[in-house]
């Protein structure tokens, strides 16, 4: 583990090296900043708030709440893709951006703040993060997915990681955007590992990211009020670094998508024993996705890029309520049951796409863009459970036996109870090529930071194996055991996903 940690920290330092080389020749342990050409003038409390509070964390806070009702669906994606993932790496790298900021500062790299202001801003940010995270944790008392403790929401590790990343962004991001890219990459990796380690739900880490980012904005705002002009390099503040999108719009971003999809093509299922068809139709509901995306532009208008996206969608099933299954009870009798309900389910997919991007500037602060990509989709298995109720003629026979005292009241209640079939529809993991197209509008927020609203369409048609266990037996506890002769079929399943999204982007220079 120590060897892996050293390798990671060395790699992260290499990522930051291009920006650090500019600091050669500057004095070590620089404790005061006097750059006359970039003299900072304290703009007052209102101006300091506008300068420090970028609202980058707000979309993450909103998305964390929005995804709460789909946390089980996201958990299924984790269980499908990497169910046995285990690491302690996330316990260490959450602090890496903050530690490396201090190391680079100690080595003479020019930053936004002197040591006193840097330490105070970091302290205010840490106190705010800790207070918000713990107050919510022990108020909400959300159970962790591994069942260990009731303090899951929000993720403390992720909040700390994004706090550390945002401090590096504040101190060094205006110097080179690669500092911000590296820091937020580490923070994102921390959050992903918390989910894969089965320690957090997806909404825990998304909301935690928002807490970390917002806490730093508050922490630096408090420092501005206290220190005013002391110990700050005006060259690296928002007032002297206005956003400009008129150059090459290369970017890296993390975004949240919501939307819907068309119904899935369900398999043609054989009719029951008396010829009644199942008439199965699968329908998709709310779709949510998290997207990491980036593009490199060769000039102001044309570039190439890619995206990695994880998507979940709720699923419901329409069916023929007259469909009958014959279930062998513990007495060796075939008993007719009507299909009462197919319970909702969900599916998850992971997409990796690459393709050309095009962008058109509308002034210095707004751009419109479009893309067309091709890639690969992995679809996780999705299963449906079902409930059966005793067919009316079978219930009548059972009632007659009760009237004739052939069975007791307790036996009647047990034999007439509904049955749950946890294996009614089962699928296997599948994969296919996919096509993606989209368009968006980008708005400049601060230097190297832009907000992007966009629309995406994705098409894929994986070949999915459906296994339908409509018949089976009941064990001594009246639990359903599927028949060995289940109906199975491979079905090409077209998927059309439509989403709208919002992302925070780091631009990579003009």
CATH code of residue 477: 2.40.160.20
Statement to judge: residues 236 and 292 lie in one domain: no
Residue 471 maps to a domain? yes
Res. 7 pLDDT band, cuts 50 70 90 = very low
Q: How many CB atoms lie within 10 A of CB 72?
A: 12
* Whether residue 464 has pLDDT greater than 80: yes
Evaluate whether 388 touches 325 at the Cβ level (below 8 Å). Answer: yes
Q: Do the bridges between strand 449-460 and strand 487-492 make them parallel or antiparallel, or are there none, so unpaired? A: unpaired
Statement to judge: residues 294 and 346 lie in one domain: yes
Higher pLDDT, 176 or 212: 212
Q: What mean pLDDT is predicted for residues 295-312?
A: 93
> Alpha-carbon distance 299 to 8, whole Å?
33
Helix, strand, coil % over all residues of the chain, rounded to 5? 35, 35, 30
- Looking at the structure of the chain, the number of domains it has is 2
What percentage of the chain has pLDDT greater than the value 70? 87
Q: Could you tell me how far CA 244 lies from the centroid of its own chain? A: 29
Residues recorded for the chain? 510
DSSP secondary structure code for residue 36 in this structure: G
Give the Å distances, CA to CA, from 159 to 137, 173, 194. Answer: 12, 19, 11
Statement to judge: residues 226 and 301 lie in one domain: no
Higher pLDDT, 417 or 38: 417
Statement to judge: residues 356 and 274 lie in one domain: yes
> Alpha-carbon distance 63 to 86, whole Å?
26
> Alpha-carbon distance 164 to 171, whole Å?
11
Among 283, 400, 276, 397, CA closest to 339: 276
Q: Tell me which residue range forms the domain holding 418.
A: 251-507
* Whether residue 22 has pLDDT greater than 70: no
Residue 407 maps to a domain? yes
Q: How many CB atoms lie within 10 A of CB 140?
A: 12
Res. 217 pLDDT band, cuts 50 70 90 = very high
DSSP secondary structure code for residue 251 in this structure: E
Evaluate whether 271 touches 325 at the Cβ level (below 8 Å). Answer: no
* Whether residue 26 has pLDDT greater than 60: no
User: What's residue 265's pLDDT?
Assistant: 66
* Whether residue 468 has pLDDT greater than 60: yes
Q: Could you tell me how far CA 16 lies from the centroid of its own chain? A: 26
> Alpha-carbon distance 56 to 61, whole Å?
10
Statement to judge: residues 163 and 112 lie in one domain: yes
Q: How many CB atoms lie within 10 A of CB 10?
A: 10
Among 74, 92, 85, 79, CA closest to 197: 85
Statement to judge: residues 410 and 497 lie in one domain: yes
Most confident of 270-274, 329-333, 370-374: 370-374
DSSP bridge partners of 255: 291, 503
Contacts of 467-470 with C-beta under 8 Å, sequence gap 24+, read: 467/425, 467/426, 467/427, 468/267, 468/269, 468/278, 468/424, 468/425, 468/426, 469/421, 469/423, 469/424, 469/425, 469/426, 470/269, 470/272, 470/278, 470/323, 470/325, 470/339, 470/424
Statement to judge: residues 217 and 320 lie in one domain: no
Residues 6 or more apart whose Cβ sits within 8 Å of residue 161: 93, 94, 95, 97, 186, 187, 190, 191, 212
Last residue of one domain, picked from the residues 240, 268, 287: 240
Last residue of one domain, picked from the residues 240, 274, 291: 240
Among 350, 355, 78, 356, CA closest to 205: 78
Statement to judge: residues 308 and 421 lie in one domain: yes
Place of tokens 């999705």: 382
Last residue of one domain, picked from the residues 192, 218, 240: 240
DSSP bridge partners of 360: 368
Residue 246 maps to a domain? no
Q: Could you tell me how far CA 463 lies from the centroid of its own chain? A: 26
Q: 302-340 burial, b for 16+ CB within 10 Å, e for fewer?
A: ebebbbebbbbbbbbbebeeebbbbbeeeeeeebbbbbe
Res. 200 pLDDT band, cuts 50 70 90 = very high
Most confident of 15-29, 115-129, 161-175, 239-253: 115-129
Statement to judge: residues 319 and 452 lie in one domain: yes
Evaluate whether 386 touches 342 at the Cβ level (below 8 Å). Answer: yes
> Alpha-carbon distance 277 to 489, whole Å?
16
Res. 174 pLDDT band, cuts 50 70 90 = confident
Statement to judge: residues 232 and 269 lie in one domain: no
DSSP bridge partners of 80: none
User: What's residue 133's pLDDT?
Assistant: 97
Most confident of 239-243, 356-360, 423-427: 356-360
User: What's residue 27's pLDDT?
Assistant: 35
DSSP string, 404-449: TTSS-HHHHHHHTS-EEEEEEEEE--EEEEEEEEEEEEEEEEETTE
* Whether residue 127 has pLDDT greater than 60: yes
> Alpha-carbon distance 484 to 97, whole Å?
55
Evaluate whether 444 touches 243 at the Cβ level (below 8 Å). Answer: yes
* Whether residue 340 has pLDDT greater than 60: yes
First to last CA, the chain: 39
User: What's residue 238's pLDDT?
Assistant: 55
User: What are the pLDDT digits (tens) for 107-118?
Assistant: 999 999 999 999
Which two three-digit tokens encode residue 54?
Answer: 């970028």
What percentage of the chain has pLDDT greater than the value 90? 43
User: What's residue 450's pLDDT?
Assistant: 83
Which two three-digit tokens encode residue 359?
Answer: 């962008």
Statement to judge: residues 133 and 220 lie in one domain: yes
Residue 488 maps to a domain? yes
Statement to judge: residues 284 and 223 lie in one domain: no
Residue 245 maps to a domain? no
Residues 6 or more apart whose Cβ sits within 8 Å of residue 58: 210, 214
Among 169, 220, 165, 216, CA closest to 188: 165
pTM confidence score: 0.78
Place of tokens 């095009």: 358
């Amino acid at each position: 583990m120590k060897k892996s940690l050293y390798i990671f920290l060395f790699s992260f330092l290499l990522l930051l090296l291009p920006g650090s080389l500019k600091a050669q020749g500057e004095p070590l342990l620089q404790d005061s900043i006097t750059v006359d050409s970039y003299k900072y003038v304290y703009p007052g409390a209102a101006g300091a708030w506008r300068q420090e509070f970028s609202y980058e964390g707000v979309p993450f806070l909103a998305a964390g709440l929005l995804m709460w009702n789909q946390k089980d669906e996201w958990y299924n994606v984790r269980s499908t893709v990497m169910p046995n993932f285990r690491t302690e790496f996330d316990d260490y790298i959450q602090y890496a951006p903050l530690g490396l900021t201090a190391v680079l500062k100690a080595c003479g790299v020019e930053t936004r703040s002197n040591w006193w202001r840097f330490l105070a801003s970091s302290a205010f940010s840490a106190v705010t993060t800790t207070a918000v995270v713990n107050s919510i944790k022990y108020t909400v008392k959300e159970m962790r997915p591994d069942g260990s403790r009731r303090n899951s929401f929000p993720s403390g590790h992720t909040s700390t990681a994004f706090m550390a990343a945002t401090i590096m962004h504040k101190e060094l991001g205006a110097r080179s955007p690669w500092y911000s890219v590296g820091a937020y990459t580490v923070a994102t990796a921390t959050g992903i590992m918390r989910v894969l380690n089965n320690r957090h739900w997806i909404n825990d880490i998304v909301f935690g990211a928002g807490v970390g980012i917002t806490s730093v904005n508050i922490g630096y705002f408090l420092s501005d009020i206290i220190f005013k002009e002391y110990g700050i390099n005006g060259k690296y503040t928002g007032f002297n670094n206005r956003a400009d999108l008129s150059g090459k719009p290369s970017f890296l971003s993390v975004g949240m998508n919501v939307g819907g999809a068309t119904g899935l093509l369900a398999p043609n299922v054989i009719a029951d024993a008396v010829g009644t068809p199942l008439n199965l139709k699968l329908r998709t509901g709310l779709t949510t996705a998290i997207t990491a995306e980036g593009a490199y532009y060769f000039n102001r208008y044309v570039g190439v890029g890619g995206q990695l996206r994880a998507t979940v969608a709720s699923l419901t099933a329409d069916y023929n309520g007259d469909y009958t299954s014959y279930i062998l009870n513990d007495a060796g009798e075939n008993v007719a049951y009507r299909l009462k309900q197919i319970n909702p389910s969900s599916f998850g997919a992971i997409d990796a796409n690459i393709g050309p991007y095009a962008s058109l500037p509308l002034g210095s602060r707004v751009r419109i863009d479009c893309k067309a990509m091709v890639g690969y989709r992995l679809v996780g298995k999705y299963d449906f459970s079902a409930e059966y109720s005793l067919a009316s003629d079978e219930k009548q026979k059972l009632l007659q036996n009760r009237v004739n005292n052939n069975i007791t009241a307790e036996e009647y209640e047990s034999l007439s109870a509904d049955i749950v079939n946890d294996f009614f529809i089962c699928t296997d993991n599948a994969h296919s090529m996919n096509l993606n197209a989209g368009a968006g509008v980008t708005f400049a927020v601060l230097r190297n930071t832009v907000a992007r609203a966009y629309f995406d369409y994705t098409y894929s048609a994986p070949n999915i194996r459906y296994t339908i266990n409509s018949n089976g037996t009941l064990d001594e506890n009246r639990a359903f055991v599927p028949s060995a002769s289940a109906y199975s079929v491979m079905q090409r399943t077209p998927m059309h996903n439509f989403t709208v999204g919002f992302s925070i982007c780091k631009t990579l220079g003009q």
